[in-house]
Chains A and B, each alone.
Chain A
């Protein structure tokens, strides 16, 4: 049982390049979230999903896209990378339903845009 798996762990991008951060979970959780964390700061919600085929914007969605074709996977796409997107990205899951409020996190993906 791997929990939440994020790939890659580290990536350096040039300005204007695109890439996809992968997130996979094997806990059959309905809810999945993408957060970014700038140095020394809290986490900002980018996008979230309450089930396959359903996604919604969080606090800072600009410059990102997501899809949720399966329960297990929730990839985050960066189009036209900018230095402001340099951050650590965390994927998290939650079983969903009444009272479900605890997040299980992946190990994070550190992205640098130069």
Chain B
């Protein structure tokens, strides 16, 4: 069974703090995506990483793909209330066309 484990499940922090969300698997991904989802809507893509060790930045968000392409992290610097939402990682395995999701991290930023 291919699993994507995401941690933490919930995170509530003060505005201005930094945080990191992790996405781990025992299998190798051909690519990994991070999505953000607002209540009542579908997930919206933030970034795709495809190369082991790759780092991508999106304003205050930094995404890293593990060297072995089995894990990824999302780091938010100086979190703002507008960052509140459900963050999801999704991985595509090399040997399959299916794309599976982690269990999600619900982030709440307190003003």
- Please report A residues at the B interface, Cβ cutoff 8 Å: 31, 33, 35, 40-45, 48, 50, 56, 58-59, 90, 92, 94, 96, 99, 101-103, 105-108
Contact = CB atoms under 8 A, between A and B. Distances in A.
Chain B: interface residue count, which band?
20 to 34
Contacts of A106: 42
Contacts of A44: 101
Contacts, number: 63
What are the 7 tightest A-B residue pairs by CB atom distance, in nearest-first order? A105-B42, A42-B104, A101-B31, A43-B101, A42-B103, A42-B101, A101-B92
**B interface SS class:** strand
Nearest to B30: A101
Interface in B25-39: 30-31, 33
22 contacts: A40-B86, A41-B103, A41-B104, A42-B102, A42-B103, A43-B43, A43-B88, A45-B100, A48-B97, A48-B98, A50-B97, A58-B100, A101-B31, A101-B50, A103-B45, A103-B99, A105-B43, A106-B42, A107-B41, A107-B42, A108-B40, A108-B41
